Amino acid sequence: MSPLNRIAVTSPTGKSSAWQLALFGGEPLFVEHFCVGRPNLPPFETYAKLMREAFDRRWLTNRGPLVQRFEDEIACRTDARHCIAVANATLGLQIAAVAADVRGEVILPAFTFIATAHAFRWVGIEPVLADVQYQTHQLDPASVVDRWTDRTGAIVGVHLWGETCDVEALEEIARERGVPLLFDAAHAFGCSYRSKQVGNHGLAEVFSFHATKFINCFEGGAICTNDDAFASRVRSILNFGFRDGEATAMVGTNAKMSESSAAMGLATLEQMEEIIAHNRKVYDLYSESLTGQKGVQLYPYQTSESRNYQYVVLEVNPMLSELSRDEIVRVLALENIIARKYFAPGLHRHEPYASGSTGQVHVPVTDALCQQVFLLPTGTAVSIEAAQQIGQVLRTVLDHAGTIASRLRSVRA
């Protein structure tokens, strides 16, 4: 594995006292911003070797040998019959919708990244936002049924955080009502549902290999499916609608993955098990730092299933914590620990959805989670030592919540 991209600290022994915190005049723990989503990087030599092959062939796009190898590797790791690499996951969702001939409306969770809704709106399909389950953060099947209309053309489940939504319940609803079931699996490569790898559920599952994902292609994505006819349509659509390279059979677009992106993906895949093991260690360290804390809890992963642990998700219970989520995030930011408030304020509060009927949707669980959830840095850019120090700072903040709350409120006053 490549050397970790370490960020210098100003306090090698950490911060166990509230008075050491930057909020009270101490030096920030990290010299520069330590952000969520710093890329996992393979050894440059591994990437360069693959790119040398592409240079020597002068085959840089149009499903070159590296893209084909990448597709084969993803299909092998997911047990899917077909893997079609695409330039990014947003295009993957759009192409999947067009290939499935989805029209009208599509039901998807309000608690997800804006790209999920935008992808469908971009191709003329109206997103209808359902709520999620509080314990799992995943799409609530009962809310899907509640949002159903005669214009519903598909259901889109989202496997959030690398956990999986209730695939079986969603499949039953889709089957009974005769619509395709698609999955935004941007977070879920390497994960499983009831021991079956993500990539095999519904009509198709779409992965993201963006730079912030634990396996990345700089920018990239993939559509996995076990449906032969659907896979054929997808391959045609992403290549301008061509069939057999001579005549077009439909309106298509250009969503092909480049050889450079595939090279990065292949190089990173070589480290996949090592990255997951590192993520798990970081997750466990953060978990230890929260032992005995009542106001903040770590999102629990199902250890009986395959999980990639690429996200460290925390929830602040406003009934138990003296500090709000936003206050905790602010104090951490002063230490140059840049936590992220996913997915505030919720899809229904983003434009263009907030101004329309979508903005009036009642999604109380989503509203609550958007005020309570935040993510901490993880990945190979976070050394074990850094994770221990971040965990210690978080524990110090929570142990001295009353003192910190008074300080923050006096500053505001």
Q: Sketch the domain layout of the chain as residue ranges.
A: 18-38+272-339+377-412, 44-269
> Distances from the Cα of 278 to the Cαs of 8, 58, 118, in angstroms?
20, 36, 33
Higher pLDDT, 259 or 243: 259
Q: What is the pTM for the complete model shown? A: 0.95
| Per-residue pLDDT tens digits for 64-89 | 999 999 999 999 999 999 999 999 99
Confidence at residue 238, expressed as pLDDT on a 0 to 100 scale: 97
- CB of 289 closer than 8 Å to CB of 398: no
Q: Which fold has domain 18-38+272-339+377-412?
A: Aspartate Aminotransferase, domain 1 (3.90.1150)
Task: Report the first-to-last Cα separation within the chain, whole angstroms.
Answer: 49
| Per-residue pLDDT tens digits for 273-306 | 999 999 999 999 999 999 999 999 999 999 999 9
The number of helices, as runs of H, and strands, as runs of E, in the chain is 13, 16
Q: Do domains 18-38+272-339+377-412 and 44-269 have the same CATH topology?
A: no
Percentage above 90 pLDDT, the chain: 92
Q: What is the average pLDDT across 295-319?
A: 97
Task: Classify domain 44-269 by CATH architecture.
Answer: 3-Layer(aba) Sandwich (3.40)
What does the alpha-carbon distance between residue 280 and residue 379 come to, in Å, rounded to a whole number?
Answer: 9
Confidence at residue 14, expressed as pLDDT on a 0 to 100 scale: 74
